Structure 1
Amino acid sequence: MPPKFGTSGLRGLVTDLTDDFITDYSRAFLDACPHGGAVHVGWDLRPSSPGIAEIVIAAIRAAGITAIREGALPTPALALAAMGADHAAIMVTGSHIPADRNGLKFYVPRGEITKADETEILSRLGQNWPHASSNGALCNGQDSAARYIARYTETFGSKALEGMRIGIYEHSSVARDILGEAMRALGATAIPLARTETFIPVDTEAVDPGTRENLAKWCAEHDLDALISTDGDADRPMVVDGKGAIVPGDVLGAVTARELGAKVICTPISANTMIETMADFDRIIRTRIGSPFVIAAMEQALAEAPQARVVGYEPNGGFLLGFLAKGPSGEIAPLLTRDCLLPIVAPLAAARRAGQSLSGLIASLPARFTAADRLSDIPPERSRALIESLSTDTAACAEFFDASGAIESIDRTDGLRVRFETGEIVHLRPSGNAPEFRCYCEASSSDRAHTLLAEYLGKLQFRLG
């Protein structure tokens, strides 16, 4: 399908991301959104990204605007650099999807664009864009990676992870060097693992069984307290405890929110429901899936109460900070885009401070467990037809979910989320920007959540495959 905006950013096949297409979207963004007179440009490590970035830079300069070439840099580090200078930013990345696809993420000086901004960009496409009387300036970014790391060392302190052995699953993450530097700056011993120059599409919500086996093996072989990684552009964390178990992103989010003293959480409907049972939080706001919807909810909450301690996070682990928070060693400023380092550092630092293992810290939380995965290469029209059928045909819905018992409630905020009288949850949702169909399950034990996931993925494969 042609490139389009999805849950976060514009994505499509590299073959469809032509020079004219990239130029049109870049110029439409500059025409529709504030930019502060300059645009920072960064990219991930997939093979097509540097070339696409040069097209973006040329489009910025042709509009008479300064382009700042940041190079290969994590998305949150790019956003931090741009927002700190009151500038816009464009990140060239396909995030966690395969290397035959790529895309753009757009940032205005306040942070990630909203769905309203997307609408404005789309309304300006297709123009015969004029060339400015003179090209905008071109310069290189300065110390953006170092400033990103300093954000966390200044907040948590240089001894926050002292004595801990942290593995870094480097693969092709654009943050692979930064992760090691950050862990060492926080006092940990960093052990680099499995670097590759071939792009690997790591999805932190759907880690394949072979990778899970390797993660557990590395934890045992290297006597690790934890192992960390990210997706391709490093706005989603992956954290593995010392026993080799992946800590889900929405659990990292809940722990990070608690450590920062947040009181209002904005999170998608698919996130773990443990937070509704935790006394730490005053208000939970559920949204559609995608960081623009989380950001919109955060901005609305802050408009209603500017001093509110608001955060947002997604089940993929990306964490958004909406207030000036206090850490053990200093304050940390808001950052309204998905970040990977904060939800990595905060739980690790909390465990060490409490004298616990990470697995022990997680075990102390309410017993709600999630499991998620996806089916790939599913035509979007087939996915939409299934959701429509299950949403409108009572008999079809009852038949599809009959093995799980009586249905207590159905939520159609985003896809189809079914809660059963047992308290278990199954959530079905087609991807917004890839030919994928996702399934999220929740239960009172990890084994049961994964059993549900396997059962419903099998049903979906039968219906959609």
Structure 2
Amino acid sequence: MGKYFGTDGFRGEANIDLTVEHAYKVGRFLGHHYGKDKKAKVVIGKDTRRSSYMFEYALVSGLTASGADVYLLHVTSTPSVSYVVRSESYDCGIMISASHNPYYDNGIKIINGNGYKLEAEVEALIENYIDGKGEDIPYATREGIGKTTDYMIGRNRYIGYLISLATRSFKEVKVALDCANGSASTIAKGVFDALGAKTYVIHNEPNGTNINEGCGSTHMENLQKYVLENGLDVGFAYDGDADRCLAVDDKGNIIDGDLILYVCGLYMKNRGELNNNTVVTTIMSNFGLYKAFEEKGIAYEKTAVGDKYVYENMMTNGHSIGGEQSGHIIFSKHATTGDGILTSLKIMEVILETKMKLSELVKDVYIYPQLLVNVKVKDKKAAREDSKVMEAVEAVTKALSEEGRILVRESGTEPVIRVMVEAKSNDVCKKHVEFVIETLKQQGHVKD
């Protein structure tokens, strides 16, 4: 974690934490960094936030001033930027989005020429330049100044790519799409319509300030109600930049990232497509998912929280599917990042090829009740490493045995210790979480 860049780019409230000056300097650095031996080519996409246009112009100014040529995808998804970068040989791509955050936040995600998130060492160089510690970057002059090109065709090619991945027609299938008033608004309906689905779309009218507002993958209640009221077969909800997908089954139940990993992982195993017979998860995946994998003879690995770490593990070990409970699902054969619309297409494939409803596909998974409490502490490292706290965690681990788990970890950005317990009942979760929190209090770690 750097000063400005976290696990998912440079993010914060627009013109407070992330300003137009920051964006301009990011552009200046990238244009110079990738243009030392040639004219750099950079592609930019954005979500529907009001401030996305402001940051787009600032980035373009910085990039072209350093001599880079810039290609604008306009409102599109993060995975579409990654696709265009790697399929059309751009030096890098930039996505302007704060994902599932409220509209007044924004962010700059940088994607390298291979379609992956930018290397930490390059992010560190950008941070130095922003703080005036890096090398002086000359302005381009005359014919060296960069140009800007409208490149909506790149987004259209990505849409064509998604359509090409479907194995069957979606004809007569009734599908709801919650586009979160975000990036999916320009892509999702067109894909499902082209594949023949009876498409029902909600939250598809962005106005600059309604992205993620009571909708999308962080507010599933509206989609649940909509699927049930309209008697639909399945529903899919995306986040602001459409790199996440959660689903609603035919009975109105939420199908989170863990259940999506189960459905798709088991399907891939049965078809001989699950590389190394392994699914990559994060430490936040539900205990019930691991029990279900074990029953089906599927191996799994756990990474730190963040799709960046999931993908690193997949690439290092050659695994074919991984993801997070939040709906970041990566299919390494088709993408280098989480892709919400791709994920919904892969779920549709399972439904159509198996001729089973989504509710039937998840019936063998028991998701354990989970309680997560964030505890504000004076010093999170001291709290986490306190011997009495560690003894309390060990005691809970022994008490739960094979019927649950406890996870105590430090927040990456706040003075907070996260205490999470999964067990067979809410009462058991509550008892063990309260025991650890009381230990933290007794040891003097909790803020008043």
TM-score, length of structure 2 as denominator length: 0.81
The 2-side partners of 1:458 and 1:171 are apart by 39
Match of 1:110 among 88, 108, 114: 114
> Against the structure 1 CA distance between its residues 362 and 202, is the aligned structure 2 distance closer, same or farther, given a 3 Å change threshold?
farther
Q: Cα offset for 1:39?
A: 0.7
Residue pair 1:241, 1:359 contacting (<8 A) in 2 also: yes
Q: Which residue of 2 aligns with 1:192?
A: 201
The 1-side partners of 2:42 and 2:342 are apart by 25
Q: Cα offset for 1:422?
A: 4.6
1:284 aligns with 2:300: yes
Q: Cα offset for 1:71?
A: 0.5
The 2-side partners of 1:457 and 1:132 are apart by 61
| The structure with more radius of gyration | 2
Residue pair 2:232, 2:250 contacting (<8 A) in 1 also: yes
Q: Cα offset for 1:146?
A: 2.9
Per-residue Cα deviation, 1:186-220 (whole angstroms, up to 9, x for no partner) = 2221112244533243699984xxx4443332122
The 1-side partners of 2:316 and 2:324 are apart by 17
The 2-side partners of 1:43 and 1:310 are apart by 28
Deviates more, 1:341-350 or 1:41-50: 341-350
The 1-side partners of 2:55 and 2:160 are apart by 29
Residue pair 1:205, 1:316 contacting (<8 A) in 2 also: no
Deviates more, 1:435-444 or 1:312-321: 435-444
Q: Cα offset for 1:53?
A: 0.9
Q: Which residue of 2 aligns with 1:392?
A: 385
The 1-side partners of 2:302 and 2:99 are apart by 24
1:93 aligns with 2:102: no
> Against the structure 1 CA distance between its residues 189 and 450, is the aligned structure 2 distance closer, same or farther, given a 3 Å change threshold?
farther
Q: Which residue of 2 aligns with 1:50?
A: 53
The 2-side partners of 1:94 and 1:153 are apart by 27
Q: Which residue of 1 aligns with 2:158?
A: 148
The 2-side partners of 1:319 and 1:443 are apart by 25
Q: Helix, strand or coil: the match of 1:106?
A: strand
Match of 1:201 among 187, 204, 212: 212
Match of 2:231 among 207, 213, 223: 223
> Against the structure 1 CA distance between its residues 157 and 53, is the aligned structure 2 distance closer, same or farther, given a 3 Å change threshold?
same
Q: Which residue of 2 aligns with 1:20?
A: 21
Residue pair 1:205, 1:372 contacting (<8 A) in 2 also: no
The 2-side partners of 1:437 and 1:397 are apart by 13
Residue pair 1:33, 1:108 contacting (<8 A) in 2 also: no
Q: Which residue of 2 aligns with 1:330?
A: none
Q: Which residue of 2 aligns with 1:61?
A: 64
The aligned runs of 1:358-369 (5 Å cut-off) are 358-364=358-364, 366-369=365-368
Q: Cα offset for 1:431?
A: 4.9
Q: Helix, strand or coil: the match of 1:12?
A: strand
The aligned runs of 1:173-322 (5 Å cut-off) are 173-196=182-205, 197=207, 198-201=209-212, 207=218, 211-260=219-268, 261-263=273-275, 264-273=278-287, 274-275=289-290, 276-277=293-294, 279=296, 281=298, 284-301=300-317, 308-322=318-332
> Against the structure 1 CA distance between its residues 96 and 438, is the aligned structure 2 distance closer, same or farther, given a 3 Å change threshold?
farther
One-letter amino acid of the counterpart of residue 277, structure 1: E
Q: Which residue of 2 aligns with 1:413?
A: none
> Against the structure 1 CA distance between its residues 64 and 373, is the aligned structure 2 distance closer, same or farther, given a 3 Å change threshold?
farther
Per-residue Cα deviation, 1:409-450 (whole angstroms, up to 9, x for no partner) = xxxxxxxxxx93253234355554578876655445xxx469
Q: Cα offset for 1:169?
A: 1.8
**Alpha carbon RMSD of aligned pairs, Å?**
3.6
Residue pair 1:115, 1:293 contacting (<8 A) in 2 also: no
Q: Cα offset for 1:233?
A: 0.7
The 2-side partners of 1:280 and 1:45 are apart by 43
Q: Cα offset for 1:158?
A: 5.0
More strand by share: 1
Q: Helix, strand or coil: the match of 1:90?
A: strand
One-letter amino acid of the counterpart of residue 424, structure 1: G
The 1-side partners of 2:418 and 2:238 are apart by 20
Residue pair 1:114, 1:292 contacting (<8 A) in 2 also: no
One-letter amino acid of the counterpart of residue 170, structure 1: C
Q: Cα offset for 1:383?
A: 5.3
Q: Which residue of 2 aligns with 1:344?
A: 344
1:424 aligns with 2:429: no
Deviates more, 1:13-22 or 1:99-108: 13-22
Residue pair 2:182, 2:212 contacting (<8 A) in 1 also: no
> Against the structure 1 CA distance between its residues 239 and 70, is the aligned structure 2 distance closer, same or farther, given a 3 Å change threshold?
same
The 1-side partners of 2:56 and 2:430 are apart by 38
Q: Cα offset for 1:154?
A: 1.7
TM-score, length of structure 1 as denominator length: 0.78
1:80 aligns with 2:83: yes
Q: Which residue of 2 aligns with 1:411?
A: none
The 1-side partners of 2:215 and 2:264 are apart by 17
The 2-side partners of 1:386 and 1:433 are apart by 11
> Against the structure 1 CA distance between its residues 154 and 205, is the aligned structure 2 distance closer, same or farther, given a 3 Å change threshold?
closer
Q: Cα offset for 1:372?
A: 7.5
% identity of equivalent residues = 22
One-letter amino acid of the counterpart of residue 262, structure 1: L
> Against the structure 1 CA distance between its residues 170 and 337, is the aligned structure 2 distance closer, same or farther, given a 3 Å change threshold?
closer
Per-residue Cα deviation, 1:376-407 (whole angstroms, up to 9, x for no partner) = xx9xxx45734641x222334556x69xx732
Q: Helix, strand or coil: the match of 2:325?
A: coil
One-letter amino acid of the counterpart of residue 329, structure 2: F
Per-residue Cα deviation, 1:64-86 (whole angstroms, up to 9, x for no partner) = 11100110101101111121111
The 1-side partners of 2:126 and 2:283 are apart by 27
One-letter amino acid of the counterpart of residue 29, structure 2: A
